[in-house]
Structure 1
Amino acid sequence: MMPVDLAHLGPLRRALDVAADLATHYGATVVYAGVTAQTPGALGHNPKEFSARLDAFVAEESRAHGVTAEALALTSHDPRIDLDRTLIKALEEIGADLVVMASHIPNLTDYIWPSNGGALAAHAKTSVMIVRG
């Protein structure tokens, strides 16, 4: 599973490439998971529009890297607060054996509020590969 934030794809590029490379090497399917709220946002007026945007992104990634890919659009009450729980629940439901996730280089605030990647690595029951940079 590869969590994606469609509003910030630039910083995810390295992790996206790693996920595609691993999928190619092992013949795996990449499940690109995106989380949205029920309320309108920049990526769609509703979860259905967000899902369509995620589907288009996944189709492009699949074509560009030649991998089998699926989109998993998730809805959360407040993605800023519930993101980690939403991703962990989805991870368990789909039975993924690896999460490839982008994260930043740790800084002082990460000792108080862990990054999403750090939280997933600490609480998921499966392996989590954090790709920095």
Structure 2
Amino acid sequence: MYRKVIFPVDLTHVDDLSKALQTTLDLANHYKAEICFVGVTGTAPNAVTHTPQEYERKLRAFADEQGKAHGLKCSATACISPDPSIDTDKTLLAAIDDLGGDLVVMQTHAPNALDYIWAGHGDTIAAHSGASVFLVR
């Protein structure tokens, strides 16, 4: 049913993704699907990496670690954005299409009042992607 699962990763919050990551691993295992870990980063240094190339290496290492630990085919795609604070949704939507993802699994937060003003990334991806989207709280 699903061939490629896209899992957006924010390497600064990877410890907070355990529930969504486990869901992704379970679904990929069940459907014998590839997982593509997608991360969006800027060109400026951040808390995790100093360069986009270092970010890409860390994202690939994360994907390799998950693949080996769980016996799944995993890949990584780092997307470089001039301003991730405003481009993340657009960049993720383009990556999902470019990579041929047919399922996106994302960690999300519990709804709050600000969601009426600014939609979360998961809301936007679910509303605008042609892929199925599974949001995990």
**TM bucket normalised to smaller:** over 0.9
Which secondary structure does the structure 2 equivalent of 1:82 belong to? helix
- The residue that corresponds to 2:23 in the other structure is 18
Displacement of 1:66 after TM fit?
A: 1.8
1:27 is the counterpart of 2:23: no
Please tell me the residue identity of whatever aligns with 2:14.
L
Select 1:102's aligned residue among 107, 111, 114. 107
Equivalences for 1:36-115 in 2 at 5 Å? 36-115=41-120
Which secondary structure does the structure 2 equivalent of 1:77 belong to? coil
Displacement of 1:42 after TM fit?
A: 2.2
User: 1:87-122 CA deviation, whole Å, 9 max, x = no partner?
Assistant: 000011111101000001111111111111111111
User: 1:31-86 CA deviation, whole Å, 9 max, x = no partner?
Assistant: 00011111222222211111001111111111222211000111011111100000
After superposition, the CA RMSD in angstroms is 0.9
Over 3 Å off, 4+ runs: none
Report the TM-score, using the length of structure 1 for normalisation: 0.95
Please tell me the residue identity of whatever aligns with 1:40.
P
Identity of counterpart residues, as a percentage?
A: 46
How many residues get paired? 132
CA distance in 2, matches of 1:89, 1:75: 12
Q: Which runs of 5+ in 2 are unaligned?
A: 1-5
Q: Which runs of 5+ in 1 are unaligned?
A: none
Report the TM-score, using the length of structure 2 for normalisation: 0.93
CA distance in 1, matches of 2:83, 2:69: 32
